[in-house]
Amino acid sequence: MAVFVDKEANQFLIHAELIASAHMLSETVERMAKNITTVLAGQYPLVLCVMSGAVVFSGQLLPLLHFPLDFDYLHPTRYNHMLQGGVIEWKVLPPAHLKGRVVLVLDDVLDEGFTLAAIRQRIMEEGAKAFYSAVLVDKVIGKTKPISADFIGMSLPDRYIFGYGMDIKGLWRNLPAIFALKE
Ligand SMILES: O=P(O)(O)OC[C@H]1O[C@H](OP(=O)(O)OP(=O)(O)O)[C@H](O)[C@@H]1O
Ligand SMILES: Nc1nc2[nH]cnc2c(=O)[nH]1
């Protein structure tokens, strides 16, 4: 099992192209933290990490937000180790304590936008006072999306990306930079 996984994982790396370096990502997250602080400092927001892909982004961003906030997570998934999205499955619903709160959702990638739109709908239905979203990557897909993010780290072409929390068939969320498979 481990040998097979190692082989598959190494094949992904051999065919990977660096898209955003660790240095570039750290500058991007710093800039986002400044913009988020300008808008949300003093509002005691509830910050929600969209598991699993936003785990690294959230972990890097949170220590740069120097104002009082609450932190929790939710977990929808619609890719489930596939390279194409399907139906949204809620592995963990948004927390119940968001009524009347200003909510900031952190997601790794806004692709077709179905996941973030479903998250916003659910959170507003649960009684949040305001909804903000920050995405590390906004993909340029040449189609109108059902939602746009309030804070965007970088725009990238429409290629499947992995690393920095994002998986390729479940693997390589632990890479410190963002990669895509060579075309
Ligand atoms: O804009 P969309 O096309 O809807 O896709 C974006 C979503 O896809 C990824 O989640 P995924 O379903 O892969 O779950 P995971 O993070 O647990 O792997 C990513 O974390 C976003 O939440
Ligand atoms: N890992 C990963 N998940 C996604 N979900 C939607 N698009 C992507 C992508 O390019 N990479």
Rounded average pLDDT over 16-36: 98
Average pLDDT over residues 130-146: 97
d(CA 69, CA 90) in angstroms, rounded, equals 24
CA distance 135 to 152: 5
Question: Does 133 sit in the ligand 1 pocket, CB within 6 Å?
Answer: no
Closest Cα to atom 11, ligand 2: which residue? Answer: 161
List the CATH number of the domain containing 52: 3.40.50.2020
- Asked whether 153 lines ligand 1 (CB < 6 A), one says no
Task: Provide the number of structural domains found in the chain.
Answer: 1
Can you give the residue range of the structural domain that contains 104? 31-167
Query: Does residue 148 lie in a domain region?
Result: yes
37 in a structural domain? yes
| Peptide bond between residue 26 and the one before it cis (omega within 30 degrees of 0) | no
Whether ligand 1 lies within 6 angstroms of the CB of 114 is answered as: yes
Q: What would the mean pLDDT of 114-135 be, rounded to a whole number? A: 97
44 lies in a domain? yes
Q: How confident is the model at residue 182 (pLDDT cuts 50, 70, 90)?
A: confident
pTM recorded for the entire structure: 0.96
Is residue 19 domain-resident? no
pLDDT in tens, 40-77: 999 999 999 999 999 999 999 999 999 999 999 999 98
Residue 84 — pLDDT band, cuts 50, 70, 90? confident
Residue 48 lies in a domain: yes
The answer to whether residue 79 is domain-embedded is: yes
Q: Would 18 be classed as within a structural domain?
A: no
**What atom of ligand 2 comes closest to residue 167's alpha carbon?**
1
Query: Nearest 5°: CA angle at 65, between 175 and 124?
Result: 90
**Residue 10 included in any domain:** no
| Residue 1: pLDDT over 80 | no
ipTM value for the complex: 0.96
